[in-house]
Structure 1
Amino acid sequence: MQLEDDNILKRVLDCYSIQVENVKLLTSKSGRTTWLIETSDGEKILKNAQMKPTRMLFIAEAHEHLHNNGLPIAKIHRTTQGGLCVGVEDSAFVLYDKVDGNEVIYYDKEQLTRTMKFMAQFHTNSQGFVHSDESKKRGRIGKWQKLYRWKLQELEGNKSIAQGLPLDPFSLMFLSHVDKMLERGRQSLMELDEAAYQNWSKEWIEAKGFCQQDFTMARLIDTEDDLFMRELHSITIDLPSRDIRMLMNKVMKKLSIWDTDLAIQMLQAYDSINPLTEDQYKVLWTDLKFPHLFCSIIHKYYLGQKVSWSDEKYIWALQNIIAVENSKAEFTDQFHSLVPLIKEKKEDS
């Protein structure tokens, strides 16, 4: 089997006009394998992902689009035949330059501010993207209502399950907060019928932009001169606010509380590069109000997704998320006073 894998790897590398000097396996997990490829033209990264080549092509085309538009992202290489990826059955390979730098961490406010500016540049540079007919597009723009309804229906279903588990501590804690979360979720769902969401969706479709889907600092490195994106893990056609919401929720979950001052600094940094209108901030507020984090941990628990987690760890995770969601409510209730503060664009942003 190893010999067969080595033969596949050699055939893939032969598709590129590079002189290979050495190959080293770096990681292999979660359906993704990466190798360090030492060449006469410097070090490269070869990545294999268990996804259909048409899907990988969509991501690779977006990667090249961002690079060509000036975003600090590793150069992706085409094959000698002009292809952006090499398909092997139900998986695909891509090759890009290896760039060295320091880790970007969530607890460093300066790096967090720079990350928000990088995200804003990402969204700006994403515009004008036209994918090929051969690639498989993925998008959620205009589909938020369906997603919200599905999450609320699942929450209602899990509520029924929890009511049948009167001795389960996790279920008891869940039941003491679920009605408030359902109320917030339904309010967010109603707000999607307003013009702000409809108009931004239409404008973004016309702009041909995209978001990263799960904007994480793990994809970035600090090269001192600038933050740099090592690779493009995934993309989807959706509003920029999705990336903003995902990263803000991720940061605040690590802090175990919603820090309003930090949230303002993050949004000021983003707005300094890619200014949002008041209506666009309304859409972001709607998405922040929806209890995505709460829905996620409940989904994991009742589906038993985290096999290695103990009951105590699940309870700790739920307590943490409830603290974040409850303190976030104080932030989202101040829309009309906070948006002008964001627009001030303080010097330290």
Structure 2
Amino acid sequence: MEQLITPWDSDEILDDLYVPQYIEEMAQQVINQYDFKVNSMEVITTKADKGGLIWKINTSKGPKSLKILHRRPSRSLFSIGAQEYLVNVKKARVPPIVKTKSGSNIVEMGGKIWFVADWIEPLYQVSADIEGAKLLSNAIGEFHQLSQGYVPPKGAENASRLFRWPNAYKKIVRKMTWFKDVAKLYSEMPASRTILNTVDIFEEQAKKALTMLEQSSYQQMVSKGNKEWGLVHQDYGWSNGQMGPGGMWIIDLDGVAYDIPIRDLRKLITGSMDDLGKWDINWIVGMLEAYNEANPITDDLFEILLIDFSLPNLYYKNVKEMLIEPTIALNSELDSVVQRIVEIDKTKWPIIEQLRKEWRGGNRK
């Protein structure tokens, strides 16, 4: 019976680049199914808590990446199919998949999907300033435009988040009550008082955002269906959008899913504002205009973006870990983080209002 690949470092005590011997042996078996010789292998990153891994392999046919995808095989087939569609049909700047000797995109071993793709060189991160942010925004807009029309291959899951927005918003509203309950239960912890002093504000924001979503054209928009909207990356940022041959490349497509594309842009903008420590109208408008050049933002789509801005994403993202291990998470560091988020949040609302009044159809009024 074949050995299954299982997470090998759930306690995060091993070296980040440690790979179990049995997986190294599997890698050699996988490599034997390709028409190249491997001169060297370098572990680039591991998802040891989930059973995923990326090597850079130097081969007789140039540098490649060898990946073990940590998700269910049927889910991984969805992203592999998307990568092939973007390269072969849409000529997108995403790494081409290398086929096995038998002509397959993948090797299934250890209960996981393995695949090889070209290693694009040179790739480098763009500057962490407004100009870099514009390049990232334009690139993800192009990605969204090109991904429209994708149909997953036979045997793949239909990975879609398109219809899940209301439930996702409701989950955030619901968990605000849980944050309060846990903070009261662990009232002696350093961050508990700050959580209790701020959670009502963010709970109210989440409720209002949910109401706005329910009153918006969201249901009408999603009725167009998955294929019409195309794919979101879900983990897009400075490391997964990089400058390379011919322009910006988008890498690590393992988590792509159908969704309203503006979700990627929202994450990119709010992450940038977090890095800045405040909301900045010039950054945001620059990013919107750069995105709009590649994938026009309709008024309905812009309204959804403003609603998603209104959700307390930054607060929720940083505080939710307290539900798993409150005695560890509710520390003085979280206390400082929440206080910082409160200050950033104060700068958000005037700018959302300014955007609502001034930005439409790709330009400031």
Q: Which residue of 2 aligns with 1:284?
A: 305
Q: Which amino acid aligns with 1:295?
A: Y
Q: Which residue of 1 aligns with 2:4?
A: none
CA contact (8 A) 1:51 1:90 kept: no
- Please report the TM-score for the alignment, with normalisation by the length of structure 1: 0.90
**Equivalent-residue separation in structure 2 for 1:284 and 1:236 (angstroms):** 18
- Equivalent residues in 2 for 1:242-261, closer than 5 Å: 242-261=263-282
* Alignment counterpart, residue 13 of structure 1, candidates 12, 28, 31: 31
Q: Which amino acid aligns with 2:240?
A: R
SS across alignment from 1:334: helix
**Equivalent-residue separation in structure 2 for 1:112 and 1:12 (angstroms):** 38
**Equivalent-residue separation in structure 2 for 1:162 and 1:4 (angstroms):** 43
Cα distance 1:206–1:300, how it changes in 2: closer, same or farther (>3 A)?
same
Q: Which amino acid aligns with 1:8?
A: M
Higher mean displacement: 100-109 or 213-222: 100-109
Q: Aligned residues: percent identity? A: 24
Q: Which amino acid aligns with 1:25?
A: V
**Equivalent-residue separation in structure 2 for 1:305 and 1:64 (angstroms):** 43
Q: Which residue of 2 aligns with 1:38?
A: 58
C-alpha displacement at 1:249, in angstroms? 1.4
C-alpha displacement at 1:137, in angstroms? 2.5
**Equivalent-residue separation in structure 2 for 1:330 and 1:135 (angstroms):** 44
CA contact (8 A) 2:64 2:118 kept: yes
* Alignment counterpart, residue 82 of structure 2, candidates 43, 46, 62: 62
* Alignment counterpart, residue 50 of structure 1, candidates 62, 70, 77: 70
Q: Which amino acid aligns with 1:172?
A: R
Larger helix proportion, structure 1 or 2?
1
CA contact (8 A) 1:34 1:46 kept: yes
Could you list the per-position Cα deviations for residues 242-289 of structure 1 after superposition, in whole angstroms to 9, with x for gaps in the alignment?
111111111111111111221111111111111111111001111110
SS across alignment from 1:131: coil
Q: Which amino acid aligns with 1:70?
A: K
Could you list the per-position Cα deviations for residues 150-187 of structure 1 after superposition, in whole angstroms to 9, with x for gaps in the alignment?
11111112112323444444222122222221111111
1:333 and 2:357 matched: no
Higher mean displacement: 98-107 or 42-51: 98-107
Q: Which amino acid aligns with 1:147?
A: A
- Equivalent residues in 2 for 1:212-251, closer than 5 Å: 212-223=233-244, 225-251=246-272
**Equivalent-residue separation in structure 2 for 1:322 and 1:106 (angstroms):** 27
1:154 and 2:175 matched: yes
SS across alignment from 1:295: helix
- Please report the TM-score for the alignment, with normalisation by the length of structure 2: 0.86
Coordinate RMSD, CA, aligned: 2.4
**Equivalent-residue separation in structure 2 for 1:3 and 1:161 (angstroms):** 41
1:23 and 2:41 matched: yes
Structure 1 residues without counterparts, runs of 5 or longer:
none
CA contact (8 A) 1:142 1:201 kept: yes
**Equivalent-residue separation in structure 2 for 1:156 and 1:110 (angstroms):** 40
SS across alignment from 2:214: coil
C-alpha displacement at 1:27, in angstroms? 3.2
CA contact (8 A) 2:105 2:115 kept: yes
**Equivalent-residue separation in structure 2 for 1:217 and 1:70 (angstroms):** 22
C-alpha displacement at 1:51, in angstroms? 2.4
Structure 2 residues without counterparts, runs of 5 or longer:
1-18
SS across alignment from 2:58: strand
Q: Which amino acid aligns with 1:222?
A: M
Could you list the per-position Cα deviations for residues 160-216 of structure 1 after superposition, in whole angstroms to 9, with x for gaps in the alignment?
232344444422212222222111111111122234211221235351511111212
SS across alignment from 1:333: helix
* Alignment counterpart, residue 74 of structure 1, candidates 95, 110, 114: 95
Q: Which amino acid aligns with 1:22?
A: S
SS across alignment from 2:159: coil
Cα distance 1:222–1:206, how it changes in 2: closer, same or farther (>3 A)?
closer
C-alpha displacement at 1:224, in angstroms? 6.7
**Equivalent-residue separation in structure 1 for 2:45 and 2:86 (angstroms):** 25
Number of matched pairs = 344
**Equivalent-residue separation in structure 1 for 2:245 and 2:62 (angstroms):** 21
**Equivalent-residue separation in structure 2 for 1:306 and 1:221 (angstroms):** 38
CA contact (8 A) 1:268 1:343 kept: yes
- Equivalent residues in 2 for 1:245-324, closer than 5 Å: 245-304=266-325, 311-324=331-344
- Equivalent residues in 2 for 1:162-181, closer than 5 Å: 162-181=183-202
CA contact (8 A) 2:209 2:307 kept: yes
List 4+ stretches of structure 1 deviating above 6 A.
none
Q: Which residue of 2 aligns with 1:343?
A: 362
Cα distance 1:64–1:334, how it changes in 2: closer, same or farther (>3 A)?
same
